[in-house]
Amino acid sequence: MSPTARTDLLLPADPTQRGIARELYALAKDQPLISPHGHVDPAILADDVPFPDPARLLIVPDHYVTRMLLSQGIPPASLGVPSVDGSAVETDGRTIWRRFAANWHLFRGTPSRLWLERTFAEVFGVRTSLRPETADAVYDEIAARLAEPGFRPRALFERFHIEVLATTESPLDDLGRHAKLAADGWGGPGGRVITTFRPDNVVDMEFDNWAANVARLGEVAGEDTGTYRGYLAALRQRRAAFIAAGATSSDHGHPTALTLRLDEAEAAALYERGLRGAATPADAEAFRAHMLVEFARMSIEDGLVMQLHPGAVRNHNRPLHARHGRDVGGDIPAATEYVHALAPLLDAYGNDPRLRVVLYTLDEYTFTRELAPLAGGYPALYLGAPWWFLDSPEGLRRFREAVTETAGFYNTAGFVDDTRAFCSIPVRHDVARRVDAGFLARLVAEHRLPLDEAAETIVDLAYRLPKRIFKIGEPL
Amino acid sequence: MSPTARTDLLLPADPTQRGIARELYALAKDQPLISPHGHVDPAILADDVPFPDPARLLIVPDHYVTRMLLSQGIPPASLGVPSVDGSAVETDGRTIWRRFAANWHLFRGTPSRLWLERTFAEVFGVRTSLRPETADAVYDEIAARLAEPGFRPRALFERFHIEVLATTESPLDDLGRHAKLAADGWGGPGGRVITTFRPDNVVDMEFDNWAANVARLGEVAGEDTGTYRGYLAALRQRRAAFIAAGATSSDHGHPTALTLRLDEAEAAALYERGLRGAATPADAEAFRAHMLVEFARMSIEDGLVMQLHPGAVRNHNRPLHARHGRDVGGDIPAATEYVHALAPLLDAYGNDPRLRVVLYTLDEYTFTRELAPLAGGYPALYLGAPWWFLDSPEGLRRFREAVTETAGFYNTAGFVDDTRAFCSIPVRHDVARRVDAGFLARLVAEHRLPLDEAAETIVDLAYRLPKRIFKIGEPL
Amino acid sequence: MSPTARTDLLLPADPTQRGIARELYALAKDQPLISPHGHVDPAILADDVPFPDPARLLIVPDHYVTRMLLSQGIPPASLGVPSVDGSAVETDGRTIWRRFAANWHLFRGTPSRLWLERTFAEVFGVRTSLRPETADAVYDEIAARLAEPGFRPRALFERFHIEVLATTESPLDDLGRHAKLAADGWGGPGGRVITTFRPDNVVDMEFDNWAANVARLGEVAGEDTGTYRGYLAALRQRRAAFIAAGATSSDHGHPTALTLRLDEAEAAALYERGLRGAATPADAEAFRAHMLVEFARMSIEDGLVMQLHPGAVRNHNRPLHARHGRDVGGDIPAATEYVHALAPLLDAYGNDPRLRVVLYTLDEYTFTRELAPLAGGYPALYLGAPWWFLDSPEGLRRFREAVTETAGFYNTAGFVDDTRAFCSIPVRHDVARRVDAGFLARLVAEHRLPLDEAAETIVDLAYRLPKRIFKIGEPL
């Protein structure tokens, strides 16, 4: 990548706007990274052992990459994606890498291309452009770096200038890695690596092994989850444990954004049907919806910021799920309704200044119609960064263009990388900062915002807003 | 605002496009303002008394402003928004203004920022930029202007170069202010200030006090609204009275765009259930839907242009509604379907050249799929300007980019400010003219339209089209 | 059109991007045209007789044109659109042409304007710009050309540099024109003019005369379509006949994208109810949905690429349909769901490398939420070019901006003109190439893609991808 490309990547081509965007980006680019939501395995940082080979680090676990290759007929097994059915998968890193490199053209115009290319160049210092013919050379360069001490996780964490990274754990997790991190001076409240409370596996009756998970929740929490009341007590107890491990937020991944206020007897009856294995899909949806309101109530009590990630149809690609399990690229978004769905929660707590809910979406066709009006009208609501399929230059740009006029900048929660790909974190944040610089530059060039206010705004978006909204480094 | 900013505000940054846009904008900017739909209180112009203090004029009644402040936890009561429950609200204009100014950054990138900033500068000649520290200075400058005779409503009306302004009244209104305006040479058919027939409060059974409103309608019209036939007669009579007061259009604000053709017996049965208080929500929806078809039939008889504003979920923020009533920023859009919903009306009258229906939307995700194909395929249909949450530079731009290819320019009805903020009218029209200039400039720069045709088009959009489509100054 | 306009039409105005776009467009513009889906009447090329007068060639059959004129109150009958109810229509070509020219301004900003203007200039060499006053001059120039041998269909086909053109026929068609074309060395497998298997009229029980069509299918195929098994055999037989006439794909125009797997007994029961005239709308929908899965299975056997065109509400303008029949501009899109609708088909065959399904849409508000994730996740799926109301510069641009990040370029199937307007084919492809050049130029200018890869991509999009994905010139 040429020096100009490094400077001007993703900035608008028009010289006036590019000039302004450069100035704005310069203010944002070195701000520390706040990563308040993501899926990095805390073991990486707790154990700080060297990363595996380039393919196992960068290709095998990246479902953006393996799904694109699958879409062109390259089976995940041939890319080393672990199977859950015992069938064989490719084990040779170099073979996997060559398959990936031979299909590099598929990624033209995608964020994966951008993330990987810049990770190669900027994290690993690779000077060779990836092409089918250079597969081995690039592989070898990265492999050599991975063997160096400076490329261990904690060293990279420092080099990436990450101020705080939140991982995501279920209430069944014993938080042992976070205890290790705290013991090493890396974790705990106010620490560099914190956790997030993600209770889907004990809330969603349609989750694999829900009843067993709930039983296990009781054991972990020392409560009797045989009753609904005990179940709530167990959840409260685990939230407290997560807060003690540094958590500042919870996260809820539901099929829809439905919320519902049931009285205790109704909720208890649903819960009991669930335990008996007699819950219908409608029961499961009602229970999830009710629990979102319960969690909002708990958030008002304990201060956790509440994140809602609705709208994914999980495991849509069923043969893929059967062979390789969850989270390997087989999920597809679906239309998501917020205005009626959130009304019960908002009626109860939407105007309560103690509640903070960050809303995400996979359905951008709600941006101006639903999400911006909601976030621009309720004190409790903030808009999370464009998520997953929308976490891309065009997606980020359309988000700003669509929501700013109704919600402003200050009802948005700042960039969230939401990634399990640790090495891609800096480039993902950098992409968001560049896109925001470009968007603000257009406002300045069209005389819609003075430069000094744009300058303040870009630093807010990059650093101050996510830190404040996610209560990073402050008491809940 | 610098001279360049005044010239080039909102025009594309690319020099080629900007040059063309300047030429086009120059043709549009001094065209008289046609404001065929809005919510200015006619008393303002009938009585022509000085406006109140800056906060009461510009902040308190502007729900765009108070909802944004609410979204960041600043209660409407602290901004002087009147309560309906008797609770206290802030009464000091300067205090309200300071609260607003202290949060000016929230409006970055919003149309409110643009409208207010230019209203300060261009209507009131304020030379100080608003910042928290300059709150008092800006307040004092505006307050001083408001005391001058040149800032009374009728003087501003002349200065704003408004040719026609339509207000909106319910059939229960006695049109006394419009009579006063007519007596002063300002109102009546062909006059400068005209009314619009908006019957929602006697059509929507779910409206507060519908039955009482219907009874009152009978009294006002001198008809027996105890029967459905008398009800229709009363509506016809009020339409005639509105036409005599200058109205050229009706307006219908419904939750959905549903239309329905019922025979008289079915409609009468619904009506009677409504009067008995026995109507279900489905009955209310069916009656609204049926009445849209009835109003279309009346329009064919009496010539009123029919406007349809569907898709707002009214009073979504229920605590806000409980304390402050309607129209204070608590409404949220919802997904709106047009293709099936309008079919009954279009089957009956969609090809009738005597009918003219102007469709609005809060759901831009119907632009290319539903609205442009409908308006580009039925003689009766025109597309109204982007409305409410979409009445903004980006919203106006996306509207042209989305609908023009299928509906052209000449199935769109021109800009509608739809505002109760009298002082913002010129800037709102100016924003639309600038955005249209920018859009047309792109077509010219990309060799898609010759400059002379773009020049004719922008004047059509700014002046001729709304005047013709809304039958301004012509006999119905 | 000036020389600059011819060079730079539709390319971005920004000089940097325009420069790059020119380079890229230069690589694409002379690539042969692959037209794998459209509605040109094969008789035109089989008989190769001169085209009729300019109005009958360019206006009367173009429903984009007649619907826009209808939307402004100009009845199709006055434009010569044939009636089905025996009522009179205008028959004088010059009168029709003058009516069209008098309303030329309605087409500003529309693709029809672009297509017609360039067809006049580049196909017919007209040097006069169309205006109401020049109607006769333009008419006369085109009429003069049409009388020349160089303007017969086959001569134009050569001049247009069309490599392959697929027409579309129903299974009831005897493929006689294609036999004639094959006899002349123009048709048959691997030929220049091929057919497409479009079975809607024997699949959709709600189609006019479905039962009679099915009976006729039995005769044509020599199978007993009185039974479901015989019906399937007849369809298989006709597919084989179409393949023998050069077909490489089937096409399915359904109201929705619903798919369904029924067992043979269930399907046979539906079929039998249909034949008895006892099928409900839900039965018809279920049968269509089931047959999509059946056709996918047949595609796996015989190799035909499967195209799916869902989402049109046919004959929405009912008075228009009553007077002028189908396909004259009275259809309107509706919201289309893909994620759940396609799941049954995808569960069965979505990962099968032998299946190839090209998905189209009239609902762009599924681009990032549904279509790109599906095409980017299933080996069988490809995205067809923006269709019908979206087949326009802005529509094509938004398609690339929306789908590329998730599906890449290589899960899209290349441009499809889908037109019955033979003379517009080159300009339609040219528009797509220019828009793609502009999109790629932005990626290059923003350092997101190197120029050499953009250069390879644009040739892939223009030529190689459609040829490969539609199996043009290769054995099935």
Q: How confident is the model at residue A241 (pLDDT cuts 50, 70, 90)?
A: very high
Measured between beta carbons, which residues in chain B are less than 8 angstroms from residue C14?
A: 14, 16
Is the pLDDT confidence value at B4 over 80?
no
Residue A268 has pLDDT above 90, yes or no: yes
Considering CB atoms only, which of A337, A347, A411 is closest to B318? A347
Per the domain annotation, does C293 fall within a domain? yes
Query: ipTM beyond 0.90?
Result: yes
Task: Give residue C476's pLDDT.
Answer: 85
> What does the pLDDT look like over B430-460, one tens digit per residue?
999 999 999 999 999 999 999 999 999 999 9
Burial of C58 (0-12, 13-18, 19+ CB in 10 A): buried
Residue of A67, A108, A363 to mutate for C, most C C-beta atoms under 10 A: A108
Whether A294 shows a pLDDT value over 70: the answer reads yes
Contact indicator for A408, A376 with CB cutoff of 8 Å = yes
- When pLDDT is averaged across residues A328-338 and rounded to a whole number, the result is 97
Instruction: Specify the DSSP element, H or E, that contains B162.
Output: strand B162-166
Residue in B332, B366, B394 to test binding to A, most A beta-carbons within 10 Å: B332
Domain membership flag for residue B475: no
Best CA proximity match to A394, nearest among C403, C369, B13: C403
Q: Which residues of chain C, if any, have pLDDT below 70?
A: 1-5
Nearest-by-CA chain A residue for C383: A71
pLDDT of residue B474: 87
Of C70, C109, C390, the CB nearest to B408: C109
Decide if pLDDT at A427 tops 90.
yes
Query: Which of A339, A371, A410 to probe the B interface (max B CBs under 10 A)?
Result: A410
Q: What is the share, in percent, of chain B residues with pLDDT greater than 90? A: 97
Q: What is the pTM of this model?
A: 0.98
Domain boundary among A118, A151, A184: A151
Provide, as residue numbers in chain A, all residues whose Cβ is less than 8 Å from the Cβ of B105. 410, 453, 456-457
Query: In the predicted model, what is the mean pLDDT of chain B?
Result: 97
Whether residues B370 and C332 touch (CB distance < 8 A) is answered with: yes
Q: Is residue A195 domain-shared with residue A335, that is, in the same domain?
A: yes
Establish if A476 belongs to a structural domain.
no
**Would the pLDDT of A112 be above 90?**
yes
Residues C171 and C273 in one domain: yes
d(CA C48, CA C34): 20
- Is the CB of A1 less than 8 angstroms away from the CB of C447? yes
Chain B residues inside the 8 Å CB shell of C394: 401-402, 404-405
Is there a single domain that holds both residue C233 and residue C252?
yes
Mean pLDDT of A169-187: 98
pLDDT band at A254 (very low <50, low <70, confident <90, very high): very high
Residue A474 forms part of a structural domain: no
Q: Is residue B349 part of a domain?
A: yes
Alpha-carbon gap: C179 to the closest alpha carbon of chain B (Å): 38
Q: Which residues of C touch A63 (CB under 8 A)?
A: none
Regarding whether C211 and C128 lie in a shared domain, the answer is: no
What is the average pLDDT across A212-227? Answer: 98
List Cβ neighbours of B338 (8 Å cut-off, separation of 6 or more). Answer: B257, B359, B361, B366, B370, B371, B374
A191-200 pLDDT, tens digit each:
999 999 999 9
A335 interaction partners in chain C (CB closer than 8 Å): 337, 369
Which of chain C's residues have a Cβ under 8 Å away from the Cβ of A363?
369
pLDDT at A2 over 70: no
User: Do C272 and C128 belong to one domain?
Assistant: no
Tens digit of each residue's pLDDT (9 = 90 or more) over A363-378 = 999 999 999 999 999 9
Do C390 and C244 belong together in one domain?
Answer: yes
Q: How many whole angstroms separate alpha carbon A403 and alpha carbon A401?
A: 6
Mean pLDDT of B253-277: 98
What residue in C sits closest to A72 (Cα-Cα)? C379
- What CA–CA distance (Å, rounded) separates C417 from C162? 12
Could you tell me which residues come within 8 angstroms of residue C115 by beta carbon, excluding any fewer than 6 positions away? C421, C424, C427, C428, C431
Same domain? For A120 and A158 the reply is: no
> Does the distance separating the beta carbons of A105 and C453 come in below 8 Å?
yes
B109 to A376: CB separation less than 8 angstroms, yes or no: no
CB contact under 8 A, C9 and B339: no
The verdict on a CB contact (< 8 Å) between B405 and C109 is yes
Chain C residues whose CB is inside 8 A of the B407 CB are: 71
The alpha carbon of residue B374 is apart from the nearest alpha carbon of chain A, in Å, by: 20
Assign A6 a pLDDT band (cuts: 50, 70, 90).
confident
In a domain, B476, yes or no: no
| pLDDT, tens only, B376-430 | 999 999 999 999 999 999 999 999 999 999 999 999 999 999 999 999 999 999 9
**Single residue among A151, A179, A209 that ends a domain in this structure:** A151
Q: Is residue C475 part of a domain?
A: no
Distance CA A370, CA B312 (A): 11
Residue contact C373–A73, C-beta within 8 A:
no
Under the banding of pLDDT at 50, 70 and 90, the label for residue B2 is low
Q: Which amino acid is at B111?
A: P
Is 90 exceeded by the pLDDT of residue B476? no
Tokens of A365: 């066709």
Q: How far is C363 from chain A (nearest CA, A)?
A: 11
The pLDDT of B289-294, averaged and rounded, is 98
pLDDT of residue C5: 67
Residues B24 and B80 in one domain: no
Query: What pLDDT, in 10s, does the model give residues B309-358?
Result: 999 999 999 999 999 999 999 999 999 999 999 999 999 999 999 999 99
Q: What is the per-residue pLDDT across C348-378, written as a single tens digit (0 to 9) for each? A: 999 999 999 999 999 999 999 999 999 999 9
**Domain limits for position C448:** 3-52+152-469
Query: Which among A381, A443, A456 has the least Cβ separation from residue B109?
Result: A443
Same domain? For B33 and B62 the reply is no
What is residue B350's three-state secondary structure?
Answer: coil
Residues C112 and C256 in one domain: no
What's the gap in Å between the CA of A255 and the closest CA on chain C?
13
What Rg, from alpha-carbon coordinates, does chain B have? 22
pLDDT in tens, A355-409: 999 999 999 999 999 999 999 999 999 999 999 999 999 999 999 999 999 999 9
- Looking at beta carbons, which residues of chain B come within 8 Å of A340? 313, 334
Cβ(C217)–Cβ(C171) below 8 Å: yes
Indicate the residue of B70, B73, B395 with minimum beta-carbon distance to A405: B395
Please indicate whether, in this complex, the C-beta atoms of A363 and C340 are within 8 angstroms of each other: no
Q: Are residues B222 and B329 in the same domain?
A: yes
pLDDT of residue B352: 97
Instruction: Report the CATH number at residue B174.
Output: 3.20.20.140
How confident is the model at residue A4, as a pLDDT? 65
Measure in Å the smallest separation between the Cα of A322 and chain C Cα atoms.
11
Contact B313, B333 (CB under 8 A): yes
Give the number of A-C residue pairs with CB atoms closer than 8 Å.
132
The Cα–Cα gap between B470 and B247 comes to 10
> Environment class of residue B280 by beta-carbon count within 10 Å: exposed (0-12), middle (13-18) or buried (19+)?
exposed
**Which pLDDT score, from 0 to 100, does residue A265 have?**
98
> Residue A88: pLDDT above 60?
yes
Q: What is the pLDDT of residue B192?
A: 98
Question: What CATH number does residue C126 fall under?
Answer: 1.10.2020.10
Read off the pLDDT band of B1 (50, 70, 90). Answer: low
**C-chain residues within 8 Å CB-CB of B374?**
332
To which residue do tokens 């042209």 refer?
B400
C146 and C174 inside one domain: no
State the total domains in chain C.
2
Residue B474, in any domain of the structure? no
Q: Is the pLDDT of residue A1 over 60?
A: no
Query: Which residue, B151, B170, B193, sits at the end of a domain?
Result: B151
The dihedral formed by the CA atoms of B147, B150, B151 and B155, expressed in degrees to the nearest 10? 150
